[in-house]
Structure 1
Amino acid sequence: MTTSTSLDQVFLTDFHSTYKFGATPANGVDRQAGTREHGAIRDWFRERAIAAGMEVRVDAVGNLFALYTWDPTLNHVFLGSHLDSQPLGGRFDGCYGVVAALHAAQEINEKVLSGEITPVHNIAVVDWFNEEGSRFQPSIMGSSVLAGSMNLEKILATRDAAGITVREALDDIGYLGEDPAPIPTAYAEIHIEQGRLLERHNTEIGAVTQSWYTQKLLVTVNGEQSHTGATLMADRHDALIAAAEIVLMTERVVDTFPAEEIVTSVGQLAVEPNSPIVVPRQVDMVIDLRAHLRSQVEQARATLLTQIAEVEARRKLTVLVQDFDIRDHQYYPIEGIELTEKAAAEAGRTCMRIETMAGHDSVPMNRIVPTVMVFVPSVDGVSHCEREFTRDEDLVAGVRVLVEIASQLVTGSLDAVTPGESGVDASV
């Protein structure tokens, strides 16, 4: 009989083998959505799933599913995450959740075939398309299309910086699918925390209670192009200098809020014409605002708009600000939170309730089916970085907990839960 120890070692071997797909010199990965590197790891996933006796499907937005269908009249519990990464990203973000789900589903299948579990739902592992949103914006595309919160045709027509559409990118790597997506009845996702709370509290498992309120601002600064050597300083309308002020304002706006309750950043910036001897005429940037409370994001936004208007007037240029990618809080069902806590206790693991500051595919899924979100620790809280790391023992602990959660989901433990109506606000 196969032991849990040997199963855990098989999982670790599989997971560590994914590092080669899009490997970077500094031990990270770079496999942005729809690239050849992304296609290669999806091919690997497909091969592993078929070898495990699973049916593989690809839907119209490129979501990749591996299914165990014990009864074709039943819908599927989904387990999963994403295999795409940020540029020069980490090896654990997303990929861990997919590989963990693949192995958890195989264990559940063995339990069903042996009669240890009598399922009332089938099970499906999903690799969602373009969770990261680095090459194609916005992020969390595949799960949002399936959940009905994004339009399929609009997403397929979205272009990257080189003008390539999502449809073209998916076709290029062989993942522009036509298969019907399975119908979800519940969803569970395990992920590295990407923060320091579990590590700070010396805790192995996080039961996620809610997502933070987030929104982005698309900012275009329009100045006037001129010669860097011949134009007097008083005569310049430098879009980059104004943009630099806005970047610093974005960082400073958090100083008026309680510590660790709001984060802001400018992670993307494009300069035109980007010549060493031309004063920039235009800068496009994305401001990212995230907070524990919606009111904090709205207050930060209002402050920035006032300050941006002052820059615009003082520097005699124009600044266009557009709201983009606004995502309200999602409160995960209390029944799912308690299920995670019970599963952690069954596995002999410490557990705490925790919020997610980052967005995940579980956020749109939580709108349509009962959803469970689970975290394992991140060393130093580092993520979206080649230094991202989670210890093997924490990865394995998460798989053990996920197996127990999945066992409960396929036997209907959250069937009575209505999505969006039984959450818990951890701020209370």
Structure 2
Amino acid sequence: MADRDFLADFAALSRIGATPNGGVHREAGSQADGAARRWLCEWFDHHGLATAVDRVGNMYGLAEWLPGAPYVLVGSHLDSQPTAGRFDGAYGVLAAVHAVAAARDAVAGGAVVPMFNLAVVNWFNEEGSRFSPSLMGSGVYTGHLDLDATLEVADQSGVTVREALTEIGFAGSDPMPPAASYAEIHIEQGRILQDTGTTIGIVTANWAARKYSITVHGAQSHTGATHLADRRDALVGAARLVLAVRELAEAFDPGQLLGSVGRFTVRPNSPVVVPGTVTLAVDLRSADPEALDKAHELFLAELDAVRAGGEVEVSIDEMSARPSSRYPAAGVELAEAAAGRAGLSSRRMLTMAGHDSVCLKDVVPTVMLFIPSDQGISHNEAEYSEDRDLLDGVRMLTEVVAALLTSPSGLAR
């Protein structure tokens, strides 16, 4: 019955913001995000968890046994990329919901004696597609981001985080529950587990990342009346950077560096106007911090080369670095023991993508888990994980939550 309940809940949640091709479009602070959050509130209420919402829109479903004690937090995020898959983030929230409910029932039945309180968490704007940066809710929770500055961040239409949260009814005022530890489960978004026939991935560290917002400045002019010698075409300069990012990644050993250009905004974007400005988001990632530092130097040299061409100017509007760091060894060992009790195969691995746990592990003992992704497809409507993998992940997370509830210090860091 529990398995059927989970799958029914997942199907219901997946209908909120559903796209015609089987994915979801549920960006942070959108009406679809608000509907998913209301669905989660109803689930909390129906199953006896108290709902709290903090000022940056993080949602919590609370089970409190020990007034004043910190919480084992368990969760992920409900927001999505545009026309994305229905598993990324949402699976982790729903798995947390069912794991927390099972742990609460075990406490009520006397099978588990908790040393901490317990809470599901839905972090605000993990994806960073509407509001930048990503990992916004967990970033504020951990002190990596300033709350007031975050609330004033605007999307491309000028709507701020504060306004969006107010519009959907989730501009909260509740305090952030203090954490004793944190656990998150997520689809892998890669092929390692599927290719090796492994059920659970236990994350030991994150890849390092550097992100840049770049603007290429040219001069708007008429495509049919401006000679090439007189043009300052921002799109040509931006195209050179796009190719430079790919060539930069290919210059390293295979698999050592990833380089991508995501958002690409051309202005004025008219068929008969030479573009005056182009803004692009550049993402460089590597498991090797030295390789990423070298890639950073080479990318800055590419910017200088485009400037030196004399046709356009190039500015770095924003630049950020996310270092690689390890998850606590005690958490990895706790998860391996939990997998053994659940009869599930597991392997240690890195996470190439960023997750809320990347923020949490810097300030609180953290466990990060993966389940297989079919063909490694993610941020795509074709994203898929088998029902059996979803259910095995819930069983795994339930074991981890019970262990965290009874660990004397949450976890040794």
Tell whether the structures are fold-level matches, with TM greater than 0.5: yes
Amino acid in the other structure paired with 1:191: H
Among 295, 304, 322, the residue aligned to 2:290: 295
State the Cα distance separating 1:227 from its structure 2 match. 0.8
Residues 266 and 287 in structure 1, CA contact (< 8 A), matched pair in contact too: yes
What does 1:110-121 correspond to in 2, within 5 Å? 110-121=105-116
Amino acid in the other structure paired with 1:123: L
RMSD of the alignment, in Å?
A: 1.1
Q: 2-side partners of 1:306 and 1:75: how far apart?
A: 48
Among 220, 223, 229, the residue aligned to 2:224: 229
Q: Does 1:42 align with 2:37?
A: yes
Deviates more, 1:120-129 or 1:404-413: 404-413
The equivalent residue for 1:422 is none
Q: 2-side partners of 1:132 and 1:330: how far apart?
A: 20
TM-score after normalising by structure 2: 0.98
Q: Does 1:403 align with 2:382?
A: no
Among 72, 80, 85, the residue aligned to 2:80: 85
The equivalent residue for 2:322 is 327
State the Cα distance separating 1:308 from its structure 2 match. 2.2
TM-score after normalising by structure 1: 0.95
Amino acid in the other structure paired with 1:77: V
The equivalent residue for 1:105 is 100
Q: 2-side partners of 1:225 and 1:343: how far apart?
A: 61
Residues 233 and 311 in structure 2, CA contact (< 8 A), matched pair in contact too: no
State the Cα distance separating 1:416 from its structure 2 match. 5.2
Residues 180 and 409 in structure 2, CA contact (< 8 A), matched pair in contact too: no
The equivalent residue for 1:130 is 125
Among 286, 292, 310, the residue aligned to 2:281: 286
Deviates more, 1:196-205 or 1:35-44: 196-205
Question: After the TM superposition, which parts of structure 1 deviate over 3 Å for at least 4 consecutive aligned residues?
Answer: 413-416
Q: Evaluate the alpha carbon distance shift between residue 416 and residue 92 of structure 1 in structure 2; reply closer, same or farther with a 3 A threshold.
A: closer
Amino acid in the other structure paired with 1:55: A
Q: 2-side partners of 1:49 and 1:416: how far apart?
A: 27
The equivalent residue for 2:206 is 211
Deviations 1:363-406 (A, max 9, x none): 11111110000000100000011000000000001000100000
Among 115, 138, 141, the residue aligned to 1:143: 138
Q: 2-side partners of 1:346 and 1:14: how far apart?
A: 26
Deviates more, 1:234-243 or 1:373-382: 234-243
Q: 1-side partners of 2:19 and 2:409: how far apart?
A: 41
Q: 1-side partners of 2:175 and 2:304: how far apart?
A: 49
Q: Does 1:180 align with 2:175?
A: yes
What does 1:26-425 correspond to in 2, within 5 Å? 26-412=21-407, 415=410, 417-418=412-413
Residues 336 and 414 in structure 1, CA contact (< 8 A), matched pair in contact too: no
The equivalent residue for 1:423 is none
Q: Percent identity?
A: 46
Deviations 1:149-189 (A, max 9, x none): 10000000000000000000000000000111211110000
Residues 226 and 279 in structure 1, CA contact (< 8 A), matched pair in contact too: yes
Residues 60 and 178 in structure 1, CA contact (< 8 A), matched pair in contact too: yes
Residues 370 and 414 in structure 1, CA contact (< 8 A), matched pair in contact too: no
User: In the comparison of the two structures, how many residue pairs are matched?
Assistant: 413
State the Cα distance separating 1:198 from its structure 2 match. 0.8
Amino acid in the other structure paired with 1:305: L
Residues 365 and 411 in structure 2, CA contact (< 8 A), matched pair in contact too: no
Aligned residue for 1:344, secondary structure, equals helix
Residues 101 and 402 in structure 1, CA contact (< 8 A), matched pair in contact too: yes
State the Cα distance separating 1:316 from its structure 2 match. 2.3
Aligned residue for 2:73, secondary structure, equals strand
